[in-house]
Amino acid sequence: MLTVEAAIYMAMEQQNLRPDYAAGLSLGEYGALIVSKALDPADAFRIIRKRGIYMQEAVPTGGAMAAVLGLDAAAIEAACEQTEGIVSIANYNCPGQIVITGEQAAVEQAGEACKAAGAKRVMPLKVSGPFHSKMLTGAGEQLADEFKNVNFRRIEVPYVTNVTADFVTDETQIQNLLVRQVSSSVRWQQSVERLVEAGADEFVEVGPGHTLTGFMKKINRDVKVFHIEKPEDLEIMLTDKIALVTGAGRGIGKAAAKLLAAHGAYVYVNYNGSEEAARQTVDEIKQNGGKAEALQCNVADFQACADMIAAIIRQSGRLDILVNNAGITRDGLLMKMSEEDYDQVLDINLKGTFHTIRHASRYMLKQKSGKIINMTSVSGVLGNAGQANYSASKAGVIGLTKSAARELASRGICVNAIAPGYVETDMTNGLSEQVKTQMLAQIPMGRAASPEEIANTVLFLASDQSAYITGQVLCVDGGMAM
Ligand code: NAP
């Protein structure tokens, strides 16, 4: 268990995921000490091995533990005190879930007293000893000898000990606390409450199983809880982020919506005319275990965008990620281009992007955080014959992106643009073979992109991995614009 925890934590460090605080339940306290840098992992492994041996040797005749569900701590403490023999609380796990420990008969008797006092259930636990009971005081004393060869270092990450449910700031206290921990109650609920009091609002459970995540939900519903058990869990986490992707029923928008949802975001799938396609995107996200819903809105309509974003805030309370992807083409040579074709492209591609930023930034400013990602194009960077309207709109998106980035940077909001080259979607499917061949000839990598390849960049810009990037245009174009 500790090996897995330590290995995961080392992998987290490699990704610059460093906690403000650390805490661990029972054996997990050694993991917290590794995180705090006070205890060398090699020492931790050696000591917990001895800890296990001493604990087993201390109770050759065994003992018992039982989980008491649905009764408050004071009533359980009273039941233990009134029972003859050794019985006490081993773990204050969370409201409604407390574990008692001690001599077999005393645990059974205290369990009956708890039932009489109104406990919903008392469940005997299959354990090899009465952990965290006074019966293990001798084991703790034996362990003290082992610490003689351990050099506790300065605590770099403040950690909360099970014994007092408070921060330990002085490394010279650690040895005594670990000795006491063997035979005293694990105050997990109180430890979490202490961390919340200190300002912790995101907790990461590291290691096998979801036990602590379950406890967290009962201790405090307002904090966010993540869980890292497998290498995939260390990938970009967007858990609980609220995202809006415009034009997400098809093409690049669909791929982006699916990828953001696969990384934990709740995704609003915007569409204008393609309701069926948007519902299909939502269904696919849900089939993958993600969360999404479809939202109709013509991004060219200022008021409709205000209403769409207000509806998101009403329902979800916030908006963390805005992907301005909706776009159209109305290609034609400049000399023959109608005013209507020019205006329509500008209205959707450029004004549409302004509309959503205009309304979303209001809420992001209050949140003091947000990621805005605008889909521009290589045509906006280089220009393209036959696409004066489209190129103008996409060049406009670049200017809009940079100005918004400058205005919003100091308030924790990053605004960036992605300039794809040639991507295989409905937008390019209609082009003639001759035009496609000409486009491919301009791509150093010699092939078109898939929508998923553009979505990967959306994910990067939506995540904390790009926290220090704003006002940039990332060309994802196989080398077209260099
Ligand atoms: P696509 O397959 O044609 O999809 C366009 C999307 O935009 C559709 O979901 C559409 O939704 C939505 N949309 C259009 N007008 C809208 C409006 N008024 N309000 C809301 N949504 C609207 O295009 P794509 O290739 O995925 O392109 C996505 C973005 O990438 C566009 O901004 C495009 O300019 C840009 N891009 C594409 C390429 C490429 O090679 N494909 C290259 C560079 C940049 P409805 O169907 O519901 O109207």
List pLDDT tens digits, range 231-266.
Answer: 777 766 787 799 999 999 999 999 999 999 988 899
CA of 325 to the centre of ligand 1 (A): 6
CA of 428 to the centre of ligand 1 (A): 10
Instruction: Give the tokens for residue 311.
Output: 């509806």
Task: Kindly report, residue by residue over 410-435, the tens digit of the pLDDT.
Answer: 999 999 999 999 999 999 998 889 98
Instruction: Give the tokens for residue 433.
Output: 């073979």
Separation of alpha carbons 279 and 292, rounded Å:
10
Closest Cα to atom 2 of ligand 1: 251
pLDDT over 90 (residue 227) = no
- pLDDT level of residue 13 (50, 70, 90 thresholds): confident
Atom of ligand 1 nearest to the CA of 299: 19
More confident residue, 340 or 222: 340
Q: What is the pLDDT of residue 16?
A: 65
Give the active site residue among 9, 21, 390, 422: 390
Task: Kindly report, residue by residue over 90-141, the tens digit of the pLDDT.
Answer: 999 999 999 999 999 999 999 999 999 999 999 999 998 999 999 999 999 9
Query: How many CB atoms are located within 10 Å of the residue 53 CB?
Result: 13
Q: What is the pLDDT of residue 195?
A: 97
Query: How many CB atoms are located within 10 Å of the residue 197 CB?
Result: 8
CA of 430 to the centre of ligand 1 (A): 13
Closest Cα to atom 8 of ligand 1: 247
CA of 322 to the centre of ligand 1 (A): 15
Closest Cα to atom 9 of ligand 1: 247
3-state secondary structure the chain: CHHHHHHHHHHHHHCCCCCCCEECCCCHHHHHHHHHCCCCHHHHHHHHHHHHHHHHHHCCCCCEEEEEECCCHHHHHHHHHHCCCCEEEEEEEECCEEEEEECHHHHHHHHHHHHHCCCCEEEECCCCCCCCCHHHHHHHHHHHHHHHHCCCCCCCCCEECCCCCCEECCHHHHHHHHHHHCCCCECHHHHHHHHHHCCCCEEEEECCCCHHHHHHHHHCCCCEEEEECCHHHHCCCCCCCEEEECCCCCHHHHHHHHHHHHCCCEEEEEECCCHHHHHHHHHHHHHCCCEEEEEECCCCCHHHHHHHHHHHHHHHCCCCEEEECCCCCCCECHHHCCHHHHHHHHHHHHHHHHHHHHHHHHHHHHHCCEEEEEECCHHHHHCCCCEHHHHHHHHHHHHHHHHHHHHHHHHCEEEEEEEECCECCHHHHCCCHHHHHHHHHCCCCCCCECHHHHHHHHHHHHCHHHCCCCCCEEEECCCCCC
**Does the C-beta of 326 come closer than 6 Å to ligand 1?**
yes
Atom of ligand 1 nearest to the CA of 326: 7
Q: Is 390 noted as a catalytic residue in this protein?
A: yes
β pairing state of 413-420 and 473-476: parallel
State the average pLDDT for the chain. 94
Which residue from 245, 250, 457 has its CB within 8 A of the most atoms of ligand 1, so it is best to mutate?
A: 250
Q: What is the pLDDT of residue 148?
A: 87
Closest Cα to atom 34 of ligand 1: 327
CA of 252 to the centre of ligand 1 (A): 7
**Does the C-beta of 298 come closer than 6 Å to ligand 1?**
yes
Q: What is the pLDDT of residue 93?
A: 98
Atom of ligand 1 nearest to the CA of 427: 3
Atom of ligand 1 nearest to the CA of 252: 26
**Does the C-beta of 250 come closer than 6 Å to ligand 1?**
yes
Q: What is the pLDDT of residue 134?
A: 94
CA of 246 to the centre of ligand 1 (A): 8
**Does the C-beta of 102 come closer than 6 Å to ligand 1?**
no
Atom of ligand 1 nearest to the CA of 449: 40
CA of 355 to the centre of ligand 1 (A): 16
Closest Cα to atom 29 of ligand 1: 325
More confident residue, 302 or 435: 302
Q: What is the pLDDT of residue 202?
A: 87
**Does the C-beta of 373 come closer than 6 Å to ligand 1?**
no
Q: What is the pLDDT of residue 272?
A: 98
Task: Kindly report, residue by residue over 31-47, the tens digit of the pLDDT.
Answer: 999 999 999 999 999 99
**Does the C-beta of 478 come closer than 6 Å to ligand 1?**
no
CA dihedral 376, 378, 380, 386 (to 10 degrees): -120
- pLDDT level of residue 15 (50, 70, 90 thresholds): low
Atom of ligand 1 nearest to the CA of 390: 34
Separation of alpha carbons 165 and 23, rounded Å:
9
**Does the C-beta of 101 come closer than 6 Å to ligand 1?**
no
CA of 383 to the centre of ligand 1 (A): 18
Q: What is the pLDDT of residue 214?
A: 92
Question: What's the N-to-C CA distance of the chain in angstroms?
Answer: 50
Instruction: Please state the φ and ψ torsions of residue 189, each to the nearest 5 degrees.
Output: -55, -45
Atom of ligand 1 nearest to the CA of 278: 47
More confident residue, 398 or 217: 398
Separation of alpha carbons 289 and 283, rounded Å:
10
**Does the C-beta of 387 come closer than 6 Å to ligand 1?**
no
The mean pLDDT of 453-476, rounded to a whole number, is: 95
481 and 417 Cβ atoms separated by less than 8 Å? no
Q: What is the pLDDT of residue 266?
A: 95
**Does the C-beta of 457 come closer than 6 Å to ligand 1?**
no
CA of 399 to the centre of ligand 1 (A): 20
